[in-house]
A and B are shown apart, each in its own frame.
Chain A
């Protein structure tokens, strides 16, 4: 069975400092992994996806994530936070088994301090 755990419900960083949002997953099949961002009263926007190609995935707005099978992790990072990065971030796992089910983490709210 699939599951995804976002280890922090809230993260605060200062503007210009690195961002690390942590995600661990569990999957019986080869997983596809995604990170989404949600700004207030908006839908979820895809930041990046991992689909068994390169383990280091680059996304939009300077974000990237590294797939580590041995650690079952898919942490999201950004070298330098910007005020506009303040939002909620969701880690999502989907199995490549044809069921097309997506399991969402509970979200991490990122606060960026001036």
Chain B
């Protein structure tokens, strides 16, 4: 069982819907990340939070809105998405050591219709 849990595993939404993705980590880490993984494209960093503060926004459209209420939880709020936003959204966390690896959840497979 992974130390990073993402829900839901699958999500289908229309372009006018509002939905949220949830990530929870049980590893005692203080940094959390959102990545987007599309077919035939490299992994794209979206957001980074360190001690609940956003430290990276990789020019992500405003229809994606992250929220990090505490170091264990991370949300990605979605509204008025486009079909090209269909992808696997991966959450990861990292410990404080400078050589710490990322620990990933199993992702949410999002389909926008």
| Interface residues of A, Cβ cutoff 8 Å to B | 32, 34, 36, 41-46, 49, 51-52, 90, 92, 94, 96, 98, 100-102, 104-107
- The answer to whether A96 touches B98, judged by C-beta atoms less than 8 angstroms apart, is yes
Given A49-B101, A100-B48, the answer on whether A43 and B4 have CB atoms closer than 8 Å is: yes
What residues on B are CB-neighbors of A104 within 8 Å? Answer: 42-43
Q: Considering only CB atoms, which chain A residue lies closest to B103 in the complex?
A: A46
- The answer to whether A42 touches B99, judged by C-beta atoms less than 8 angstroms apart, is no
- The answer to whether B42 touches A106, judged by C-beta atoms less than 8 angstroms apart, is yes
- The answer to whether A90 touches B43, judged by C-beta atoms less than 8 angstroms apart, is yes
Interface residues of B in 50-109 (CB under 8 A from A): 50, 55-56, 88, 90, 92, 94, 98-99, 101-107, 109
| Interface residues of B, Cβ cutoff 8 Å to A | 2, 4, 6, 31, 42-43, 45, 48, 50, 55-56, 88, 90, 92, 94, 98-99, 101-107, 109
Q: Across the A-B interface, give the 8 residue pairs with the lowest CB-CB distance, nearest first.
A: A43-B104, A51-B99, A104-B43, A44-B104, A43-B106, A32-B99, A106-B42, A46-B101
- The answer to whether B90 touches A44, judged by C-beta atoms less than 8 angstroms apart, is yes
Cβ 8 A contact of A34, one of B2, B31, B101: B101
A19 to chain B, nearest CB (A): 21
What residues on A are CB-neighbors of B6 within 8 Å? Answer: 43
Given A43-B2, A43-B4, A49-B101, the answer on whether A100 and B31 have CB atoms closer than 8 Å is: yes
Given A41-B107, A106-B42, the answer on whether A96 and B99 have CB atoms closer than 8 Å is: yes
Given A49-B99, A100-B31, A100-B48, the answer on whether A43 and B107 have CB atoms closer than 8 Å is: yes
B47 to chain A, nearest CB (A): 13
